[in-house]
Amino acid sequence: MIRVVVLGSSASMPSKDEFPSCVGIKHGGVYLFDACEGLQKQLMKFKLSYFQVKAIFITHLHADHFLGIFGLIQSLNMSGRKETLLIYGPKGIKHLITSILTLKPLQSNFPVEIIELNQTKKPFYSNELFTIKAFKVNHNTEAFGYILETLAYRRFDMKKVEKFKIPRKYLSEIQEKGFAIVENKKITYQTLSYLAKGKKITFTGDTKQFAGIASKAKNSDLLIHDSTFSETEKKTAREKFHCTATEAALNAKKSNSKKLMLTHFSNRYDDLNKLFEEAKKIFPNTILAREGEEFLI
């Protein structure tokens, strides 16, 4: 299971209740999509180990999306980190972060590898559990969205388990070892299972509406979408290169996504129900990203 944790969901200005937009994913290690101010505090508060952070994926170089990197590195320094920290982002991120880390009080005691991305159809990051692709979005600076896709995995086919009359007590052993001896017969995991399709999470980052969002997010299990404004402020959304909640819902519907998470809310909205309701009318399986909320996929 993939654990998705909302570390913040405010737009560029933090609100009294929310940190700027940032999402943590626990699947093997901890992986961050953007890095809000106070990042290490948020990780501790919501029980994601900052020491287990493997990589950070920055959508663009507006300060609210990367300022948390430096506090995190200082906390990792004091915790004795030795493992390399990977940071991905658009052109310019290497110069920006390297320049700051050359300042003596902010130097890292462990390796920090910074990789600048180009738009590509192939995954730029992969491990034994998942891959990550980037796609360009329509913001007022170079910006990327990200797609995390888990690898296909085996699941028990319970009809086969019943067909072969396998007692449930053997299932854990079969899964762990790949087989079990049941009534003097070798029963393999492959015999009793099928290859299930992996999971897909799409994270748009900050973006103005454009036709490519729905195609990139096609068949997402979770679409985390910029929803800075209400549809009544659509003109403002376009001027500031952001989306409305209605546009997010339409993209979720067109992409055949299973669940939509609205995020990056302007702090002009004291009550987010306005955004929630307008999206839900179009795409019923809509949720609001609120600090501390978590979901299993």
Whether residue 169 is found in the same domain as residue 52: no
Whether residue 44 is found in the same domain as residue 90: yes
Q: What is the mean pLDDT of residues 192-201?
A: 88
Whether residue 207 is found in the same domain as residue 141: yes
CATH of the domain at 137: 3.60.15.10
Q: Looking at 144, 177, 194, which one is the last position of a domain?
A: 194
Supply the pLDDT for residue 187. Answer: 87
Structure confidence by residue, pLDDT tens digits, 34-74: 999 999 999 999 999 999 999 999 999 999 999 999 999 99
pLDDT band at 243; cut points 50, 70, 90: very high
Of 10-14, 36-40, 221-225, least confident by mean pLDDT is 10-14
Q: In this model, does residue 199 exceed pLDDT 80?
A: yes
| Backbone torsions φ then ψ of 131, nearest 5 degrees | -125, 160
Report the share of the chain in percent with pLDDT over 70: 100
Whether residue 182 is found in the same domain as residue 39: no
Whether residue 261 is found in the same domain as residue 184: no
Whether residue 186 is found in the same domain as residue 111: no
Closest C-alpha among 150, 149, 145, 151 to residue 117: 145
Domains: count for the chain: 2
Q: What six digits make up the tokens of 93?
A: 């991120």
Nearest-angstrom CA–CA distance, 267 and 289: 14
Whether residue 180 is found in the same domain as residue 213: no
Q: In this model, does residue 120 exceed pLDDT 80?
A: no
Whether residue 116 is found in the same domain as residue 50: yes
Q: Which is more confidently placed, 96 or 190?
A: 96
Structure pTM? 0.89
Supply the pLDDT for residue 192. Answer: 86
Supply the pLDDT for residue 154. Answer: 81
Pick the catalytic residue from 17, 34, 64, 270: 64
Q: In this model, does residue 121 exceed pLDDT 80?
A: no
Q: Mean pLDDT in the chain?
A: 94
Q: What is the mean pLDDT of residues 142-161?
A: 90
Whether residue 186 is found in the same domain as residue 45: no
Q: What is the mean pLDDT of residues 111-127?
A: 91
Whether residue 40 is found in the same domain as residue 113: yes
The whole domain housing 184 covers 154-194
Amino acid residing at 158: M
Handedness of CA 210, 26, 267, 250 (dihedral sign): positive
Active site residue 206: no
Structure confidence by residue, pLDDT tens digits, 262-281: 999 998 998 999 999 999 99
Whether residue 190 is found in the same domain as residue 201: no
Query: Cβ of 241: how many Cβ atoms within 10 Å?
Result: 18
Whether residue 229 is found in the same domain as residue 106: yes
Q: Looking at 137, 170, 194, which one is the last position of a domain?
A: 194
